[in-house]
Structure 1
Amino acid sequence: MARAFVTGATGQDGSYLVERLLAEGVDVHALASPHEPVPAIEGVEVHVGDLLDGERIRTLLLEVSPDEVYNLAALSSVARSWEQPDLTARLNGTAAAALMESAWQLQEHTGRAVRFVQASSAEIFGEPELAPQGERTPVRPLNPYGAAKAFAHLSAHVYRQRGLHATSVILYNHESPRRPRQFVTRKITSTVAEIALGRAETLTLGNLDARRDWGWAPDYVDAMVRAARADQAADFVVATGVSHSVRDFAAAAFDRAGVPDWEARLLVDEALVRPADATELVGDASRARDVLGWAPTVPFEELVGRMVNADLAALAD
């Protein structure tokens, strides 16, 4: 039986990944932070450890001895990264590199291949000069989150040179009903659901013109698993290839919820605009399509609709 070690198992992507691996019969082990209540994940052996404690994690990884390592743990909010840039650098950057070192040492110790997947982000590209972006697009982050993710992304290349099957999956924005409400997409769908049910009057956002390439989170988890099991490790952009604005996202949400004349309900608060924000990020997933056989399955309007429907159902309970 294959064995996998997953960090960030309770997050949006991690929860879908764990479900996927368990369905395949994989023996799943997950890392839980000692600073939070230890989650009980059915079918998963949970280990308590601080990802910032490199020696503890190295010992744990040698004990668990997984075939696959998926590093999804991160401080995942760009806005919060401006508030805690030092923590972001350590957790999203150097801790990821330390985990790769641990996987490499495990491989050296056992003589058995270990496959490592690093969850990267389109934020590593910052404000790219060309669209769409691919694996050869220059790495020029605009915020602490992107800078830390860039370090981890480049570290995957370094460890490939050492012989570790290390893959960096450059994930463009991907959403689901499991996305926490502090993210703009879930803020939109949950607030729109409240407006549709008469529990709120307006939706207040920041930059409505920022454009992103939004996909369905379980599709992106599928790309991670395919990348882990590819014959050759490489970097892979995972994206739909189509961008939409924040305004488009809000419009689709209002449409699915059946709210008429929604423009008057959509407000802008300049305080919510980030210090630096890329105007458009859209990815070229040709390599993932050609090498991994991967393709997105859920179009933009359906993605937004599923999130709105889930929020309407939750409020109706």
Structure 2
Amino acid sequence: MATILITGISGQDGSYLAEQLREEGHAVVGLLRKGRTAPVRRVDGVEYAEWDFADVAALRGLLQSLRPAAFYNLAAFSTGAGMYDDAVAIGEFNGIAVARMLQAIVETDSLIRFCQASSSEMFGDPVDAPQHETTPFRPQSPYGAAKLFAHTAIRACRERHGAFACSAILYNHESPRRGPAFVTRKIADAVARIHAGDREPLPLGNLEARRDWGYAPDYVRAMRLMLAQDRADDYVVATGQLHSVREFCEVAFSHAGLDYRDWVKDNAADLRHDARGPLVGDAARARDRLGWRPTKDFEALVRLMVDASIASLAAKDSMS
């Protein structure tokens, strides 16, 4: 079949994408940042290459050698608890590096189809809700600003060079593969350990914070559908529904026969004041043009993550 190039292959989205592509018989190459160790989460049959995300000539050489039909950029850099520290590195990796990818494609083979994992953070403090593809962007962080630079570069490359380049404006999406630093995974893991007999409560910040949460494999599928179209465009990928951290806790703990009010404690150190308008997406364009719809609702997603955390903890206990 085709050769597909993926950055960020060790993350939740990259691993799901690689698995879906391998199931269809495609050759998948994971593009790792030069000097980094190979990803812990590996997909059978995936090969790996390295690039420093800075040398356009080196990327041109890789593209000439691999001849990919498609290039998915799922890599992104963020820092610690927020998207504000080390603005230079964030801008370089999440913004300028994407312009380098586009330049290498145009100079090597403009038929390579490109998909960028953009972010709802580009809307920042949105002027209205829900947001759609024509909602004005108002990023409030270096992360959102860098993603907007990349988004703008993609549109310019599409219009000036005729490249098949798309932005997937992704809202929050979760899965059992979500990193342990994210609040959704923290909650699922806490339910698992408390269900197993641990008595330590879970400290959380703002339980009223609300997000548009979807299921990661669904969002990966949307990106694949974007590159299967006759014309390149940008698409909001979202559920269109807001749920609070409190609701996530309620569903997660009750799924294990627990009451979250007995185990979740306020933690002022984790409290982040967020006066922005609600980030909730309108995926009408994706529904109408791509035929895309989420396969899992909010409660099913939460239960899936809790079940996975319980099973993972049980497997670790059996090995110890």
Aligned-pair identity in percent equals: 48
Which sections of structure 1, spanning at least 5 residues, go unmatched? none
RMSD: 1.7
Q: Secondary structure at the match of 1:82?
A: coil
1:61 to 38, 63, 68: 63
Partner of 1:180: 179
1:45-124 equivalent positions in 2, closer than 5 A? 45-76=47-78, 79-108=81-110, 113-124=111-122
The reply to whether residue 306 of structure 1 matches residue 308 of structure 2 is no
How far the C-alpha of 1:156 sits from its partner, in A, is 1.1
Distance 1:154 1:193, change over 3 A: same
Partner of 1:190: 189
How far the C-alpha of 1:217 sits from its partner, in A, is 0.4
Distance 1:5 1:305, change over 3 A: same
Amino acid at match of 2:67: S
Deviations 1:127-151 (A, max 9, x none): 1121111001111111121111111
- Number of residues paired by the alignment? 312
Most deviating of 140-149 and 11-20: 140-149
CA contact under 8 A between 1:210 and 1:280: conserved in structure 2? no
Distance 1:155 1:275, change over 3 A: farther
The reply to whether residue 212 of structure 1 matches residue 214 of structure 2 is no
The 2-side partners of 1:291 and 1:240 are apart by 16
CA contact under 8 A between 1:81 and 1:143: conserved in structure 2? yes
The 1-side partners of 2:167 and 2:275 are apart by 23
CA contact under 8 A between 2:79 and 2:85: conserved in structure 1? no
2:278 to 271, 277, 280: 280
1:289 to 287, 290, 295: 287
Most deviating of 7-16 and 196-205: 196-205
Amino acid at match of 1:228: L
Deviations 1:7-53 (A, max 9, x none): 11111000000001111111211111233222454212210222233
Distance 1:222 1:216, change over 3 A: same
Distance 1:270 1:53, change over 3 A: farther
Q: Secondary structure at the match of 1:30?
A: strand
The 1-side partners of 2:54 and 2:247 are apart by 38
Amino acid at match of 1:309: D
How far the C-alpha of 1:279 sits from its partner, in A, is 4.9
The 2-side partners of 1:125 and 1:248 are apart by 24
The 1-side partners of 2:275 and 2:108 are apart by 39
